[in-house]
Structure 1
Amino acid sequence: MYNIKIKTLGAAFVALAILDCYAVEAPARGEGMLFRELFGDTLERDYGITVSNMLDIGYTRNNRSTHDERNDGMSNMPITGFSDEGLELGGLHLFVDRPLQGVVVPRMTPLPGPKPEQFDIGFTFEAFYGRNAQFGRTFGWDMNWNMNEDDNDKARRDKKRFLAIPNFAATAYVPYGPGFNLMAGVFGPALGYEIPPNIRIARNPFASKTYAFVSEPGTVSGVLAGTRLLDGDPGILGLELGVVQGWYNLRDNNDNKSVLGALRWRTPDMNTWIDYEFIVGNEQNDSVSDVQAPVSRLIADSGQLKQQHSLNGWHNFNARWSMGAEVVYGHQAGDGKLSTVDVVTGPAFDGAHWWGANAVLTYQYRQDLSFSVRGEHFSDPDGFILFPTSTSGGDFNALTAGLRWDVNGNLTLRPELRYDWFDAREHDRPYGNGRDRTQLTAMVEALFYF
């Protein structure tokens, strides 16, 4: 069994921590560099369309897996972000966007300042190829493309890479009333503190993700509208509401819609923000011949309401210190009938709930170097919401420490150490392929922006 040499890894972190403290200017960002070199800047200058790429790769080890398990893949599970040990291509991303002039940045934030008075149209597109694309696919869209079809066990053994298009949506700004931003298509709902992917402005200081991140939907399809309710001394308040097909779904198989929404508040100086986000709707499969697992575990002949809520925020204390935090709660209804079947536990499903809290503290040592520590508690007593990464019933806990070093405008390094422990309701052991209740994991992530 592979054991991490903690002292050696600790020494590496200390060595980076004692780098010279002289001020260093933030490097110029490299996003879009390749496209501009090949085709010039006409598209962006004349039409406002940006094209950029990101390569997300990592190397990981944990102290619980065997040699054979590491070779088969996903031996870091239930940790998400980089699930395989060794070198992993998390994703090669292509982004093509025409951002809008408007009163909100859809799924992110309301904006201060005067309301634009002109109509505007745009779009957002993201495609990515790699191991993490397996968890970014959408039913009725890219889930069952030929290159994506494979049974889960074979994909794990072969460490198969997938292709996903999690964002493919049209956008528009309408200047009527307070002004409205509209979005229609397939898109990430940005529900929760962390959001995929690891773009530079994302709230993701670590290579690994929280359990709360796993519990939240990664893609939806439908329509979303946003507006600004306040812009003044009390702060900036934005509202978003949408109707979508459900979790990871373009072709919903229960003929019900879900409601997606958010209320977002910012201080006038944008140094503090608080978001409340939710998604609510029936998520059961109506037919045994069309089971959209693992996203939806239930088969039922009547509606089974599923809901997820996130209250998250961030505060910038000063030029050095900042902190983000999140509280999540979710519930899956179950009527207990014999016809209501959980594909994991069987008939007579009578409901499940989960909740969690996490916080991250960041110290900005230099403009190009920051250190962060994160703590999390996530309770999934029914072993429901983390499926398929885990079906263990109990409380997951994690402590993570790491840094972000922007080496230059194109390369960012994010090494981390993470310790997880599990308090079981009964006998479950989620780590080491069902053998252990603790795990120490080391990761080094490289992000290439070009």
Structure 2
Amino acid sequence: MKLSKLALIAAVACGINAHNLTTASANDINMVSFCETSCDCGEPVCGCEPVCCDPGCDDGSCCEPECGCEVSICGDTCCDDGCDSAGCCGGGFGDCLPMGDCGDPCSLFGDIGHGITVGGWAQLGYHTAAVPLFNSRPDELQLHQGWLYAEKAIDTSNGFDIGGRIDYVYGTDGPDTQAFGIDNDHWDNDWDNGNDYGHALPQVYAEMGYGDLSVKLGHFYTIIGWEVVGAPDNFFYSHAYTMYNSEPFTHTGALATYNVSDDLSVWGGYTFGWDSGFEDNGDSFLGGASLGLTDNITMIYATTFGRFNENQGAATGAERGYMHSLCFDVALSDNLQYIFQSDVLESEDATGATARSTFGINQYLLYSINDCLAIGGRFEWYNHDGIFDDGGDPATANNGGDVYSLTSGINYKPHSNVILRPEIRWDWAAGDERFILEDGDDDQFSFGMDSIFLF
């Protein structure tokens, strides 16, 4: 499979102009200070006027305040009873905050005792055109995710510890994260509620750890890929074709994690295939490693191979094969992050015929303006076989082709508990290749925006 000239040009352009596997920091935007300073003497006194230097100032004279003040600065205004600067992120929700500082999020539950944390979020979204991914209901406001979780994280600093987690989700994303790997309504697979809404229990697991070793037992999210199901842990509202069509969402089984050093962690375990509940849906290995190549570059490799699913009800029987994801997370500067991901999936059915054969490259470029605002771009090239009907002769359906997607978006936090993610997206296919879009076309523009309310 070769990348067409158009895809190559777009990939290079995105790489020039334009996270880790678990993406827990996708929306934890790094704060940019109001201006650089070498002063360690504390906050200015009220009424003082801090001196801000040119951006290129590096002689230690930047913003040097008088010492001994215990109140906050809102932009250029010193205040002691609330913010009166339009540049104050989070104004009116608590203490006066510096420009670009959204503060700590509030929680309805938080730590309820014994190390157990309870929280969640609500994600509401709207988009103008459907793509064959999560965002399949255009031109209507919808609840994508009403999410609740309870977690006891393990702490092995004092030896052995035990914990676990349970997640519940309701919304239009619910059916997409159910245990649909076996079509027999087991676990949460029949918890649909009409109009594409449904419930799911995507994680129910116990975790045990001692020292640098921990083991999960139960039903848990995959370690494969950069994008995840949980909305707050993704930069973009929409998803990549690769994530939705070529990567598992959940597994059931056992997964061990061993922190070899500060720079190297390895995973290894056994699972019942892909997207299964607590019934036998396959036999597969799940594993990989995260390696810090330098202070600014992390490489993550994750793989699964074996019997992926039984695919009950289909004449072709079980699907088996191999899939891997290779991701490089590069900090180009304190504010600029570049992610390169490549996925390969090769599988066959019980007759030996190709079930899926896909290859994808995703590139992300994310720039943090401050703690409350970031911009980003994503370019994807997805070569598929066995995924999309090409819209032509039935004899050539699902025969593969190239799909491209270019997305540009913003993450804005008006408050630490609120994330707004507007984006524009262009999807197209190479040559005469057709794939499933809203009107069966081979290209489309779309606008989307969602709001995430954390609690």
TM > 0.5? yes
Deviation at residue 304 of structure 1 after TM alignment: 4.7
Query: What is the SS of the residue equivalent to 1:86?
Result: coil
User: Following TM superposition, by how much is the alpha carbon of 1:266 offset from its aligned partner in structure 2, in angstroms?
Assistant: 2.4
Q: Helix, strand or coil for the counterpart of 1:331?
A: strand
| Residue number among 399, 404, 409 corresponding to 1:397 in the alignment | 404
Q: Measured at CA, do residues 123 and 20 of structure 1 come closer, stay the same or move farther in structure 2, by a change above 3 Å? A: same
Aligned residue for 2:364, secondary structure, equals strand
**Aligned partner of 2:327 among 312, 332, 341:** 312
Matches of 2:228 and 2:249 in 1, distance apart?
8
* 1:46-90 deviations in Å (ceiling 9; x for gaps): x1111111001101113xxxxxxxxxxxxx031434644320110
Map of 1:189 onto structure 2: 222
Partner residue, 2:338: 323
Corresponding residue for 1:93?
147
| Contact 1:147 1:162 (C-alpha < 8 Å) held by counterparts | no
Partner residue, 1:229: 260
Q: Tell me, yes or no, if the aligned pair for 1:239 and 1:263 is still in contact at 8 Å.
A: yes
Q: Does 1:353 align with 2:360?
A: no
> Where does 1:16-55 land on structure 2 (aligned, <5 Å)?
24-30=99-105, 33-35=107-109, 41=111, 43-44=112-113, 47-55=114-122
Aligned residue number for residue 270 of structure 2: 243
The 5 A counterparts of 1:57-206 are: 57-62=124-129, 76-81=130-135, 83-102=137-156, 116-139=157-180, 143-144=185-186, 148=190, 159-175=195-211, 179-199=212-232, 202=233, 204-206=234-236
Q: Distance in 2 between matches of 1:447 and 1:392?
A: 38
**Inter-partner Cα distance in structure 1 for 2:389 and 2:349:** 14
Identity of matched residues, %: 24
Give secondary structure in 2 for the equivalent of 1:205.
coil
Structure 1 gaps, min length 5: 1-18, 63-75, 103-115, 292-296, 341-347
Query: In 1, Cα distance between the equivalents of 2:175 and 2:159?
Result: 40
2:147/2:169 contact within 8 Å kept: yes
Displacement of 1:191: 0.9
- The question of 1:363 aligning with 2:367 is answered yes
Give 2:241's aligned amino acid. Y
Task: Give the counterpart letter for 2:373 in structure 1.
Answer: L
Which SS does the other structure have where 1:28 is aligned?
coil
**Contact 2:151 2:163 (8 Å CA) reproduced:** yes
2:419 is matched with which residue? 412
Contact 2:133–2:239, Cα closer than 8 Å, also in 1: yes
Corresponding position of 1:209: 239
Is structure 2 residue 285 aligned with structure 1 residue 259?
yes
Q: Give the partner amino acid of 2:243.
A: F
1:2-21 correspondence to structure 2 within 5 Å: none
Deviation at 1:218, TM superposition (A): 0.6
- Cα-to-partner distance string for 1:327-374 (whole Å, 9 max, x where unaligned): 000001246xxxx3xxxxxxx734541100011111111211000011
Counterparts in 2 of 1:429 and 1:216: CA distance versus 1, 3 Å? closer
> Quick one: distance in 2 between partners of 1:173 and 1:419?
45
Tell me, yes or no, if the aligned pair for 2:284 and 2:304 is still in contact at 8 Å. Answer: yes
Q: Deviations over 1:205-260 (max 9, x none)?
A: 100001111121111100000102233xxxx1011001000111135556x41100
Q: Which residue number corresponds to residue 44 of structure 2?
A: none
Deviation at 1:137, TM superposition (A): 0.5
CA distance, structure 2, for counterparts of residue 225 and residue 397 of structure 1: 36
Secondary structure at the residue paired with 1:246? coil
The 3-state SS of whatever aligns with 1:299 is coil
Residue 404 of structure 2 aligns to which amino acid in structure 1? N
What amino acid does structure 2 have at the position aligned with 1:243?
Y
| Number of corresponding residues | 354
SS at structure 1 position matched to 2:229:
coil
Question: Which stretch of the first structure deviates more once superposed, 406-415 or 315-324?
Answer: 315-324
Q: For 1:133 and 1:433, how far apart are their aligned partners in 2?
A: 25
Q: How far did residue 118 of structure 1 move?
A: 0.8
**Contact kept in structure 2, 1:91 and 1:128, CA below 8 Å:** yes
Structure having the larger proportion of residues in helix: 1
Distance 1:129 1:403 in 2: 26
Per-residue CA deviations over 1:308-327 (Å, capped at 9, x if unaligned) read 11001212222221111200
Q: Which runs of 5+ in 2 are unaligned?
A: 1-85, 90-97, 391-396
One-letter amino acid matched to 2:236: F
* Counterparts of 1:350 and 1:82, CA distance in 2: 27
Pair member with larger Rg: 2
Tell me the TM-score normalized by structure 1.
0.72
Structure 1 stretches of 4+ with a deviation exceeding 4 A read 19-23, 139-147, 251-254
Distance 1:365 1:90, change over 3 A: same
Distance 1:437 1:86, change over 3 A: same
Q: Structure 1, residues 377-406: CA drift from partner, whole Å, max 9, x if none?
A: 0000343699xxx95731110110010001
Distance 1:376 1:20, change over 3 A: farther
Q: C-alpha distance in 2, partners of 1:28/1:359?
A: 30
Distance 1:120 1:135, change over 3 A: same
Separation in structure 1 between the aligned mates of residue 258 and residue 268 of structure 2, nearest angstrom = 9
The 2-side partners of 1:173 and 1:187 are apart by: 16
> Distance between the aligned counterparts of 2:297 and 2:213, measured in 1?
23
